[in-house]
């Protein structure tokens, strides 16, 4: 598998840390991919042209850190990082949505500060 990512993306970092915790990081090749440098290449894998994106061995692309982490959790029986019980699962999803929203806001602030003044 290949993980298209930037080293500065908090969402890519989330996937990398999840893979380490799951014990599957050795099965993932990190491929530096800047959406601003070559958006067409990334569009072939992710129609949103965002990182991270995971290219499976069969060529299928998965995107969005939540989806990628859910997939990685299925690769081995243990450790189970995403609980399957309904109440625990939805509590985790709620916290993950909050954390992702905070990271997204932080990323937007960084991009806004990098924009040239008009």
The pLDDT score that the predictor gives to residue 29 is 98
The pLDDT score that the predictor gives to residue 95 is 97
Q: How many CA atoms lie within 13 A of 97 on its CB side?
A: 6
Tell me which H or E stretch contains 53: strand 53-55
Residue 33 sits in a domain whose CATH number is 3.40.30.10
| C-alpha dist (Å) from residue 95 to 88, 89, 98 | 11, 10, 5
The pLDDT score that the predictor gives to residue 102 is 96
Give the mean pLDDT per block of 10 residues along the chain (118 residues).
94 97 98 87 91 96 97 95 94 96 93 85
The pLDDT score that the predictor gives to residue 41 is 83
Indicate whether this model's pTM tops 0.75: yes
Residue range(s) defining the domain that contains residue 33: 2-114
The pLDDT score that the predictor gives to residue 35 is 85
Q: How many domains does the chain have?
A: 1
């Amino acid at each position: 598998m290949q993980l298209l990512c930037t080293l500065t993306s908090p969402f890519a970092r989330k996937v990398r840390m999840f893979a380490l915790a799951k014990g599957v990081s050795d099965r993932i090749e990190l491929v530096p991919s800047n959406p601003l440098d070559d958006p067409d290449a990334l569009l072939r894998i992710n129609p949103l042209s965002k990182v991270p994106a995971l290219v499976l061995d069969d060529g299928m692309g998965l995107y969005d850190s939540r989806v990628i982490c859910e997939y990685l959790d299925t690769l081995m029986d243990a450790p189970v990082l995403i609980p399957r019980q309904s109440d625990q699962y939805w509590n985790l999803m709620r916290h993950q949505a909050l954390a992702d929203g905070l990271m997204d806001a932080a990323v937007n602030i960084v991009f806004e500060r990098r924009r040239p003044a008009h």
